[in-house]
């Protein structure tokens, strides 16, 4: 069998391998595309009330040059210095990111909702010298800064580049009505003051291009923090090549659906997360797309006005977001005319995919990736979607399923998914031992259990660490969740293993009801119709909500924690 049996299933016109990257580094791509699409809208930020701000490609280029000059001339940063970015989706985000990269520095994406201990860990581990943070969250900084190497704090408003009237109104609501705009009590520089300083440096003759002398494709561009395949949060080192290769791979595989200068994408997932960072931000900037930014997708009604106001062709999300929208009456009454929807981050339930197709009229296509692969590894070819699979590997990507010894498992049998390609990270930041565990002979060992069929399509069975062992039999939560989610009375479901004196472990399901009359017995009976006895939940716990990550992925480990109480979904 060929080492890439999936190649024959690429769309007509797509090639098995990408061409050499035509850019020197990420800032080179930004400059070229900014010039090409100068006067067209690059980013539009839409608030829940419908108020919006816009940046063109030319403005994004100019402002990011100003920020780069500020970092190097005013703050005296050097190439390779780390800059932490902690903000929700906003017009300022791409300007800050591109400015950091143009300065020859390294971006450290940080979840805005991190607690002080989480912030201390990430800032200290990365050695970030500068923190660019939304002023909505700056009240967390007093206990954080003394325990880090952060020297400068730059505060950003959620309303940067909105009209003066809109900005005043929005900030008044945030401050007085919602109590979400605390005072910033640590020394800081405002974002506009930083840009003004950079503008002065440029006016005096500073050339930001000089900052990139010597920067190459294989140099570090971003530290993307992740729990990794196991263990404590650590920084995946992503190079300019990693990120540009991954965008090129996605473009090559979906050329028919990615028309330069013609696409628009709704970005409800946070840009600091690797999925939206690469697919929504970098890929769509590279093709001259229009990116409609949503600061928060919760509640789902926050998407109503932007979907009504803008012609959106692409939409990316996770299973829970697709599920929530498909159950919103306003969405069902007036669905958007999407060309394609992309699912990642967690398993896409068949029942959700079917409902989305019925409501929207176009498919939601599932792919697979992880932070350590920048992130996309595989994607369903749109012309040959196999429901329930993560599709086939991207061009210039190799994937295998192996046993504990690293040998290939028989076709159709589950094994650990390992992958190789230019999108695979350089390693974990300052953790050579952790790197050696997951990178072996150029292959990334993902920790996910998968199987490959005769066509080269892959199906994720589950995470190795989430597997439940019932009387010696392997039970994969994804399979049980898929069946349980098919019950019409279930809105959301998560499955874990719990200790059992007879079988070692037993299956427990946590369920959010869609139908208030749903009972434990009814759900167990439904599962028995499709699952072997040892896979059927022995316990069902109903909750009003399930713990979720910032992108809406259900967090099973929070359900496994002793005495875990219902947890509100994070935004």
- Of 345-349, 382-386, 454-458, the least confident: 345-349
Q: How far apart are CA 194 and CA 63, in angstroms?
A: 10
CA angle centred on 520, ends 518 and 522, rounded to 5°: 65
Q: Which fold has domain 27-216?
A: Rossmann fold (3.40.50)
Q: How far apart are CA 238 and CA 155, in angstroms?
A: 26
Q: How far apart are CA 494 and CA 557, in angstroms?
A: 11
Instruction: Print the SS3 string covering 255-303.
Output: HHHCCCCCCEEEECCCCCCHHHHHHHHHHHHHCCCEEEECCCCCCHHHH
- pLDDT recorded at residue 472: 67
Residue 106 bridge partners (DSSP): 82
- pLDDT recorded at residue 1: 52
- Of 150-159, 448-457, 562-571, the least confident: 562-571
CB count within 10 Å of CB 387 equals 12
Q: Are 162 and 53 in contact, with CB atoms under 8 Å apart? A: yes
- pLDDT recorded at residue 534: 85
Range from 110-114, 222-226, 392-396 that averages highest in pLDDT: 392-396
Q: How far apart are CA 353 and CA 254, in angstroms?
A: 20
- Residue boundaries of the structural domains of the chain: 1-21+245-463, 27-216, 467-560
Q: How far apart are CA 167 and CA 399, in angstroms?
A: 49
- Residue located via tokens 């010894």: 405
Domains 1-21+245-463 and 27-216 belong to one CATH topology: yes
- pLDDT recorded at residue 309: 94
Find out whether the peptide bond into 299 is cis, omega within 30 degrees of 0: yes
Q: Where does the pLDDT of residue 568 fall: very low under 50, low under 70, confident under 90, or very high at 90 and above?
A: very low
Q: How far apart are CA 223 and CA 425, in angstroms?
A: 10
The burial class, CB within 10 Å (0-12 / 13-18 / 19+), for 30 is: buried
- pLDDT recorded at residue 561: 76
Phi, psi of 367 (to 5 degrees): -130, -175
Compute the average pLDDT of residues 187-195. 98
Q: Which fold has domain 467-560?
A: GMP Synthetase; Chain A, domain 3 (3.30.300)
Nearest 10 degrees: Cα torsion 325, 331, 333, 338:
-100
CA distances, 184 to each of 85, 91, 133, 155, 190 (Å): 17, 21, 11, 9, 11
Find out whether the peptide bond into 375 is cis, omega within 30 degrees of 0: yes
Q: How far apart are CA 334 and CA 307, in angstroms?
A: 9
Using only the alpha carbons of the chain, give its radius of gyration: 23
Q: Considering the domain 1-21+245-463 in this protein, what is its CATH number?
A: 3.40.50.12780
DSSP characters over 59-82: HHHHHHHHHHHIIIIIS---TT-E
CA distances, 189 to each of 155, 158, 192, 503 (Å): 6, 15, 8, 59
- pLDDT recorded at residue 145: 98
Rounded percentage of the chain residues whose pLDDT exceeds 90: 82
Give tens-digit pLDDT for 43-91.
999 999 999 999 999 999 999 999 999 999 999 999 999 999 999 999 9
Query: What pTM does this model have?
Result: 0.86
- Strand 52-56 with 82-86, pairing: unpaired
């Amino acid at each position: 069998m060929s080492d890439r049996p999936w190649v024959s299933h690429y769309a007509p016109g797509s090639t098995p391998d990408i061409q050499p990257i035509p850019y020197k580094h990420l800032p080179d791509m930004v400059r070229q595309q900014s010039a090409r699409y100068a006067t067209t809208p690059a980013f539009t930020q839409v608030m829940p009330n419908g108020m919006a701000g816009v940046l063109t490609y030319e403005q994004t280029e100019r402002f990011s040059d100003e920020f780069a000059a500020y970092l190097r001339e005013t703050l005296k940063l050097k190439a390779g210095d780390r800059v932490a970015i902690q903000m929700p989706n906003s017009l300022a985000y791409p300007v800050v990111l591109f400015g950091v990269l143009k300065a020859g520095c390294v971006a450290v994406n940080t979840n805005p909702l991190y607690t002080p201990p989480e912030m201390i860990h990430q800032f200290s581990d990365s050695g970030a010298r500068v923190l660019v943070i939304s002023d909505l969250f700056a009240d967390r900084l007093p206990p954080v800064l003394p325990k880090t190497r952060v020297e400068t704090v730059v505060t950003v408003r959620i309303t940067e580049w909105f009209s003066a009237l809109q900005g005043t109104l929005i900030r008044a609501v945030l401050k007085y009505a919602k109590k979400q705009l605390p005072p910033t009590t640590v020394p800081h520089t405002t974002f506009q003051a930083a840009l003004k300083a950079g503008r002065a440096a440029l006016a005096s003759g500073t050339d930001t291009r000089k900052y990139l002398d010597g920067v190459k494709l294989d140099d570090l561009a971003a530290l993307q923090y992740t729990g990794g395949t196991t263990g404590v949060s650590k920084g995946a080192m992503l190079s300019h090549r990693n990120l540009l290769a991954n965008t090129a791979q996605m473009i090559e595989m979906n050329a028919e659906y990615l028309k330069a200068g013609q696409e628009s994408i709704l970005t409800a997932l946070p840009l600091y997360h690797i999925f939206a960072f690469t697919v929504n931000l970098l890929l769509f900037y590279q093709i001259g797309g229009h990116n409609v930014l949503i600061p928060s997708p919760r509640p789902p009604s926050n998407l109503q006005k932007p979907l009504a106001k803008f012609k959106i062709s692409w939409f990316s999300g996770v299973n829970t977001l697709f599920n929530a929208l498909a159950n919103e009456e306003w969405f069902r009454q007036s669905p958007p005319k999407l060309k394609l929807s992309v699912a990642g981050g967690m398993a896409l339930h068949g029942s959700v995919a079917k409902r989305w197709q019925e409501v929207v009229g176009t498919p939601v296509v599932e792919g697979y990736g992880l932070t350590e692969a920048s992130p996309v590894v595989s994607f369903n070819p749109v012309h040959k979607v196999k429901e329930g699979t993560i599709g086939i590997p991207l061009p210039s990507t190799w994937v295998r399923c192996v046993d504990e010894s690293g040998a290939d498992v028989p076709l159709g049998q589950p094994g650990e998914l390992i992958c190789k390609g230019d999108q695979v990270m350089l390693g974990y930041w300052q953790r050579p031992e952790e790197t050696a565990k997951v990178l072996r002979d150029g292959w990334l060992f993902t920790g996910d259990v998968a199987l490959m069929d005769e066509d080269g399509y892959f199906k994720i069975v589950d995470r190795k660490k989430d597997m439940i062992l019932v009387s010696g039999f392997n039970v994969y939560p994804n399979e049980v969740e898929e069946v349980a989610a098919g019950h019409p009375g279930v809105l959301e479901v998560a499955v874990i293993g719990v200790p059992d004196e007879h079988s070692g472990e037993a299956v427990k399901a946590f369920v959010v009801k869609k139908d208030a009359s749903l009972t434990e017995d009814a759900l167990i009976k439904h599962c028995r119709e499709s699952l072997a006895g040892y896979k059927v939940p022995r316990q069902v716990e109903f909750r009003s909500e399930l713990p979720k990550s910032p992108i809406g992925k259900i967090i099973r480990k929070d359900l496994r924690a002793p005495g875990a109480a219902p947890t509100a979904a994070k935004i």
